[in-house]
A and B are shown apart, each in its own frame.
Chain A
Amino acid sequence: MRRRELFRMGGLAALGAAAAACGGGAGPTPAGAAELQFMYWGSTFERKAVAKMLQAFEKQKPGVRVEALFTPDEYDVKLNALVAGNRTPDVGYVPMAMSFRLAEQGKLVNLHPYIKKYPQLGGYLPDAYLWYGPDKLHGVATANESMLLWYSRAAVTEAGIAPPPADAASAWTWDQLVQNAFKLTVDQSGKHPDEAGFDPKQVRQFGVSCSFTYPAAWYGFLRGNGGDFADEAGTKCLLDSPESIEVFQNLQDLVYKHRVAPGPGQLAATGDEVPGTSILLKTKRVAMVVDGHWSLLDMNESKVDFGIGVLPKYDQPYTTTQVAGASSVFATTKHVEEAVELFAFHIDPRYVDLYAQGLWMPQERKYYEDQAAVDSWTKNAGHPPEFRTAVVDYTRDHGVPAFGNRVKNMTAIASDVLTPALQEIESGKRSAAEVLKEVTPKITEMLQGWHHAQEV
């Protein structure tokens, strides 16, 4: 086909200048350095940390040079163009859903055979691995992340309540959450929602906020209540189960019945990013926010007086983990060994500042188990004392991996069906049961199973 020809020619042009390989890949490396390209997104913090990491890598591997391909936004667009043009980088971040597709298309290196040679690759948390088939490993989630209950210490002190517990064993029940949220919700005249004369249109400080449309925010609740997004085969959606309906009705009740949580738009926030959890807590617009561990960097940057608690529990105190994009090695690389080494290097807490800064949590198991290893990234001014129990232990022992990364066809399901349904629940116009019963068969129709998972 013409198009393929065109792309082949494109590929040749890419190789042309370097005159590097003649097809087989066994060709001699050109005189001088092996050139690798590392593609990533992120903030200016990430940009600095990655530059430093790459420098350390080059220092450790003389003869290897790494070019950073910083892509601040529209990552999908650029990566799709590079894939179409067969010009992918050697190592890089990949949006999660896209990573499975690229792996199936043979665009990513199967890392499984390299585990023997690089034992470090075998030591990650089981949920970190991304499999596109039996013994077919196309990468790991770039960093571990889990959902936590962030709170403003000042707001909690003013309300005279005990702060949200910092260990899973003493997690609040949902009712306790609601009771405490009552005390933390205050309107302009100082009244609480359970008092007469409370004005829900003039709320100065909301007790709690939890996203409806961001699945990681509620998936821990769902699993903790004995529900799930889909059945074991991954072909039947379970969102209309009583357990699931209870979870979503509770979320809706926070806004419309208990009036302790903001409704759509009330935070001056669309999506989840404007203006961000740290600002909400700092300005005390909200006293407690369900958000990911990554907020820690932002909290410290904005000098928020915050604390971290575990999420309220249903039957089990679960939290959603592995909420991140993927990292992979691309099949276009001409230096697979070096690329695999860079892959392991770029998520190694010894070389990347982002762990100590609070943006990332490690994927290597030892950083949750071995005391010295735990201390290496958490014993610093950026990590509060409760971090050990509220985050490290909580994530390790009570984490359930986000289903968004595990369910096939999730991008289409989320944007075409699930998100609109969640927005409807959020709008409060219909009950959770009504909406979920209507949408569940539609999701079932689109389900194509879970992605493969196995032991290393």
Chain B
Amino acid sequence: MLNYLISGISLGSVYAIIALGYTMVYGIAKMLNFAHGDIIMVGGYAAFCAGTYLGWPVPLAILFSMMICTILGIVIEKLAYKPLRNATSLAVLITAIGVSYLLQNLALLIWTSNPKAFPNMVNFIPSIVLGKNSDNPITISSATIVTIAASIIIMVALTLFTGKTKMGKAMRAVSEDKGAAQLMGINVNATISVTFAIGSGLAAIAGVLLCSAYPTLMPTTGSMPGIKAFTAAVLGGIGSIPGAMLGGILLGILEKFAQAYISTQLSDAIVFAALIVVLLVKPTGLLGKKMTEKV
């Protein structure tokens, strides 16, 4: 029982990191970047290549992966989304799905469909064993500890960034009213680029953590966690940073419990059913806020 809870929180923390990326981009640029999951995959491959092929040390490999993803995110935004800044959201959404397939197929060309065995990159702290002398001791792996810690640090950092810094406040201003933000002297395009850079950098971290926990790396590795994390972001209230965190963790726990107690095959269906129920009861998500507007 406790074991499932811990592995649920661990998985949920990965979802949370991905969902934070989704929610940042949605919150500021008001678009769903469906290619986000595939940036995770690219992040995984980048770290894999740096660590395994080039033999770089782990921190360097992770930094390299973040750098690649950040650049990739900025380039995707410039080439694919920026020309659609004033287009309907449907056009942007379809473009994002197109970018997602493009990344997957590029990965297929470069790295083939053979799964790569991803090394555990986050075993630099010892795992904790609870209740060593009892009948069924509980092991918390180093990956779990690092993942949970990383998600909390990232959430706090993002909250502080958007709440306290000038750039963060400017991002919130852009998200509400691009025209008025420009009148303040805020460079809207640059602000959106920074948002994508942050979201994609987070995707790289998520990629390394995800692949360390589930070590088969394939071109489609990112898509399912991407969709789940999107679900998590919506569940928690898209655009809300604590919402993404809460949604991610709840979703991870729900998935692990469904796998353990109901059915492994049905676990995904149960997760998505939970989303439907929450949206029926609270359409803005758990922590989503209603727009207060005075005319």
Q: Do A and B bind each other?
A: no
Measured CB to CB, the residues of B under 8 A from A are: none
